[in-house]
Chain A
Amino acid sequence: MSFGILFAILGGVLAAVGGGIGSAIGVGRVGRAAAGVVTEDPSKFGKVLILEILPGTQGLYGFLIAFLLLTQIGVMGGSPIQLTTAQGLMYFAACLPMAICGFISALHQANAAVSGVSIVAKRPEESGKAIIFAAMVETYAVLALLISILAMFNITANIGV
């Protein structure tokens, strides 16, 4: 087995781990704040739950990238394709936007969501705005996801596997 497949798998692992760790920290952070609000007013559970879920999407995106990559390089089917080191590094690079942006955007989205929890605590009628503020950060995670997917599919098309 060449180093190519190793680099490709490493890229997928990074995408899954980066997004996953970011989301785990983010959801945990918002969860603490949400628990604080629910301690005082349990009726706000539904509103703060939406905010808590938001930083969790990066983990899903990372998982998606890792899954697509494993499918593209045949690992999921049980017959991995032969990749040169350069091809493996291309797959690795394709996963980086999701790995890096997923991790960082999850943390920042969590901070925006915690601020949103404070809005819900004081002005529950404005919870829609709180969700929009936090959701704006999602844009950049989605862009990174798209770039990673486009890069991966184009690499597969170009190397002809």
Chain B
Amino acid sequence: MRETEYAYAVARIRANELKMLSQQDFDRLIAAESFSAALRILTDKGWSEPSGNSAYDICETETETVWRFIAESVPDRDLLDAMIIGNDFANLKAAIKAKFSDLKISEYMTVPSLCPSETIVKAIDEGEFSLLPEYLADCADKAYHAYTEKESGQLTEIIIDKECAAAKLRFAEKSDSELLREIHTLTAAVSDIKTARRCASTGKSRQFALDAVSGCGKIDAQKLVNAVYEKEELAQLVTDAGLGILADYADGDFTALEMFCDNYITRRAREYKHEIFGPDAAVAYYYGKLAEIKNVRIILSAKASGVPKDVIQQRVRELYV
């Protein structure tokens, strides 16, 4: 699709960026006396009133709102699909877990998604995986049988996460967005590092780790697993794989790694703030908005559980605006 086809979407995005929460708004949120005071700040800024008294509601509604906006503005279906494909796999995971537990499935479904969550739930409930789209059916079959036959929740998660990383990159390749490909590659690499290190720290076999790592994020799966199990430093490995930005974090704690990954994506998204055409401006805004929603969720959850302001300050991510 020609980049100029995005002129309408990008112009709407630029107009909407004015409505995003600024640093001052976040400072006020962090300084808010209570959960309800923070909610009032958000509703004053145009966020919806929560139906229940939870951070989840208001953030979920805002995610749906931003997605509706993106979906009605962006002209390329492939790009839209590539942005949210990961949510289908998250919903598949929730549906399998819910079937064998007391979980209330509706609370764990992520929106937006390509495949309706009801279809995923129905397919899992009935064991009828042909109801699912092609990219999900085979993975659902394998994950379901891992859960029922091997009774391994961890294996189920690994199967889904691995296929999710591959599908996200496959869909991103079909879109014209270089930024989206970069984001999916980076998140796959970070996910692989975490998986390999988690396998090693929980005493899983090397082969199990190798099966669990997707290898989609530029880092060679075999080399990564070997490095982790032989307790070598990962900095050189990630640098050699062209992901030198992760060098300072690959061996550190997961929270810092995740935070760096989130902040890096936001920083990259900011670089597209002055684009006038093309899919990357839409991807940048979407991820910028997701970062904003994530920050709101962090702050509201912290307010609800009485976390001190300085701790909240350390947890919040960089802003897109």
Name the A residues within 8 Å of B10 (CB-CB): 33, 36, 118
8 Å CB contact of B14 from A29, A32, A37, A111: A37
- Count contacts between A and B, CB distance < 8 Å: 59
Most A CB contacts (10 A, CB to CB) among B9, B12, B274, B277 go to B12
Quick one: which of B12-63 are within 8 Å of A by CB? 12-18
* Contact B18–A35 (Cβ < 8 Å): no
8 Å CB contact of B276 from A33, A37, A41, A122: A33
Query: CB-defined interface of A49-88 with B at 8 Å, one 1/0 digit per residue?
Result: 0000000000000000000000000000000000000000
Given A29-B4, A36-B73, A40-B16, does the pair A121, B276 have CB atoms closer than 8 Å?
no
Number of interface residues of A (CB under 8 A): 18
Chain A residue at minimal CB-CB distance from B12: A36
The reply on B114 being an interface residue by CB < 8 A is no
* Contact A37–B11 (Cβ < 8 Å): yes
* Contact B8–A32 (Cβ < 8 Å): yes
The reply on B7 being an interface residue by CB < 8 A is yes
Q: In the complex, what distance in Å separates the CA atom of A117 from the CA atom of B15?
A: 10
* Contact B11–A118 (Cβ < 8 Å): yes
* Contact B7–A33 (Cβ < 8 Å): yes
Q: In the complex, what distance in Å separates the CA atom of A130 from the CA atom of B197?
A: 52
The reply on A137 being an interface residue by CB < 8 A is no
The reply on A156 being an interface residue by CB < 8 A is no
Chain B residue at minimal CB-CB distance from A123: B18
* Contact A114–B16 (Cβ < 8 Å): no
The reply on A39 being an interface residue by CB < 8 A is yes
* Contact A36–B17 (Cβ < 8 Å): no
B: interface residue count bin:
10 to 19
Query: CB-defined interface of B81-93 with A at 8 Å, one 1/0 digit per residue?
Result: 0000000000000
Name the A residues within 8 Å of B5 (CB-CB): 32
* Contact B17–A33 (Cβ < 8 Å): no
* Contact A32–B17 (Cβ < 8 Å): no
Quick one: which of B152-187 are within 8 Å of A by CB? none
CB of B82 to closest CB in A, whole Å: 22
Q: In the complex, what distance in Å separates the CA atom of A33 from the CA atom of B276?
A: 9
B contact set with A: CB distance below 8 Å: 4-5, 7-18, 73, 274, 276-277
Q: Can you list 30 contacts pairing A with B, beta carbon distance less than 8 Å?
A: A29-B4, A29-B7, A30-B7, A32-B5, A32-B7, A32-B8, A33-B8, A36-B8, A36-B9, A36-B10, A36-B14, A36-B15, A36-B73, A37-B11, A37-B12, A37-B14, A39-B8, A39-B12, A40-B12, A40-B15, A40-B16, A114-B7, A115-B276, A117-B14, A118-B14, A118-B274, A121-B15, A121-B18, A122-B14, A122-B17
